[in-house]
Amino acid sequence: MKFIHAADLHIDSPLRGLNGYEGAPVQELRGATRRALSALVDLAIEQTVDFVILAGDIYDGNWADFRTGLFFRDQMVRMTREGIRVYIVKGNHDAESQITKQLPPVDGVHTFKSSAVETFTIDGLGVALHGRSFPNRAVPEDLVEHYPDAIANMFNIGVLHTSLNGRGGHDVYAPTTVDALCARGYDYFALGHVHAREVVREAHPRIVYPGNLQGRHAKETGPKGCELVTVDGGAITSAQFVPLDVVRWHRLQLDAGGAPDLNALRQRFMKAAGELVAGEHGRLHALRVIVSGQTELHRVEAEQPGTIAAAIQAGTQDFEGADLWVEEVKLDLRSPLDRDAALKREDAVGEVVQLVDEIASSEEHLRAWALAQLGALGTLPPGLADCDPAALPPEALRALLADAEATVLAHLGGMEGIAR
């Protein structure tokens, strides 16, 4: 017997703000969730699996129109025509209260009820699947206490959308514990909700978050896909993660320390990117690049903001062997400034360096400075909440201060004679 366990498809997730990126492959990014699901169906058919489990959040919320639902339904029809059954629990994003539009059901696709725990058995395979869908977006109670004990002489699978006892970056829904799952006596728990793959427990029972099927932004990095599980004689003989993402997100840390010029930085980027995506052809690689280190390029960037990002973008144009798109270039650079020498100067340069050291002398002074300079921004929209000056961590504030210092010194010509 063979089955696939996937979760958190988030079909047609909106990916807001893409039009604001110059040169962004908008259509490829927006179609990624659909193409990843098509790849899942291709895998199921190719591997002749017996059934597929989808552990919640198939959709990202209520459909804008029927095209989203019709696409998903078409993929389900593809599988059921090959004799592959599908078992679904609804999660917080696609709970019954969230999806208001309806389409005719597909024979062979089974959705667990939201009113009570339900069990589906496949007698020919000796399998029992137990699960319950979310009735509403927020489910604060532990659903597992209502799951039945394992059925004797069957391979028992629990299907659940849950945060367990808490996972960073995810809301607490249907909270429970590993001990509670183990107490049911099942062989496998197919979980959903957490977007990073995690094998919570290796066996007895095997408990797995497969992660989402397709990363949607720069915080959802690395390979994304599903679990392909083989069972023989009532025991798991193989459990394999299969990547299915068509766009893969990365965070690339690029050390610019000592880089003499922009061309050297470009070459470093191309080398680092090549190592990052080696052997990973056939998909788009979306990179968020963090450039750090002590370099003379800090002054160049201060004089002409955007210079370093342009050099990185030029590197993607010269890159061969994979399809790269740089989503953002973030800078964490330090100037090769001899601060002791600068502090001794009795001119505007010395005053600037002295003022910066005074502001940075304590987190209290630093935050007061930032709020005084940036407080006029007012209330930011939800999508920019992370940029609220009052919420920025000290290291981000120090980076802002260092950038301000470099910009002022560059305009004053203050780097001459005091660079290390």
CATH number of the domain residue 48 falls in:
3.60.21.10
pLDDT at 99: 80
Taking alpha carbons only, the member of 315, 226, 230 closest to residue 264 is 315
Q: Are residues 237 and 328 in the same domain?
A: no
Domain boundary among 265, 299, 334: 334
Alpha carbons 375 and 369: distance in angstroms, whole number:
10
What is the rounded CA–CA span in Å between residue 60 and residue 7?
12
| Residue that finishes a domain, picked among 243, 267, 287 | 243
368 shares its domain with 289: no
In the block, which residue shows the tokens 């339904």? 73
- Domain edge (last residue) among 277, 301, 334: 334
Same domain for 239 and 289, yes or no, is no
Same domain? 216 vs 271: no
* Tens of each residue's pLDDT in the chain, 420 residues: 999 999 999 999 877 666 566 677 888 898 999 999 999 999 999 999 999 999 999 998 888 889 999 999 999 999 999 999 999 999 998 887 788 888 999 999 999 999 999 999 999 999 999 999 999 888 899 999 999 999 999 999 999 999 998 777 777 899 999 999 999 999 999 999 999 999 999 999 999 999 999 999 889 999 999 999 999 999 999 999 999 999 999 999 999 998 989 999 999 999 999 999 988 878 999 999 999 998 889 888 888 899 999 999 999 999 987 899 999 999 988 877 667 777 778 788 788 888 888 888 888 878 888 788 776 666 666 555 566 667 778 877 877 777 777 777 767 765 555 555
Q: Are residues 112 and 209 in the same domain?
A: yes
Both 41 and 190 in one domain: the answer is yes
Does residue 147 contact residue 158 with C-beta atoms inside 8 Å? yes
pLDDT tens digits for range 132-159: 999 988 889 999 999 999 999 999 999 9
Tell me: do 195 and 96 sit in the same domain: yes
CA-CA-CA-CA torsion for 135, 138, 139, 140, nearest 10 degrees?
-160
Q: What are phi and psi of 129, to 5 degrees?
A: -110, 130
The pLDDT of residue 356 is 84
Radius of gyration of the chain (CA): 26
Cα(155)–Cα(123) distance, rounded to whole angstroms?
10
Backbone angles phi, psi at 264, to 5 degrees: -65, -40
Full domain range(s) for residue 63:
2-243
Query: Beta partners for 394?
Result: none
Residues 161 and 44 in one domain: yes
Nearest 10 degrees: CA dihedral of 251, 252, 257, 263?
A: -130
Query: Is residue 287 located within the same domain as residue 344?
Result: no
Alpha carbons within 13 A on the beta-carbon side of 412: 18
Q: How many domains does the chain divide into?
A: 3
The mean pLDDT value of the chain amounts to: 88
- In this structure, are 307 and 360 located in the same domain? no
Q: Are residues 52 and 131 in the same domain?
A: yes
Are both 376 and 238 inside the same structural domain?
no
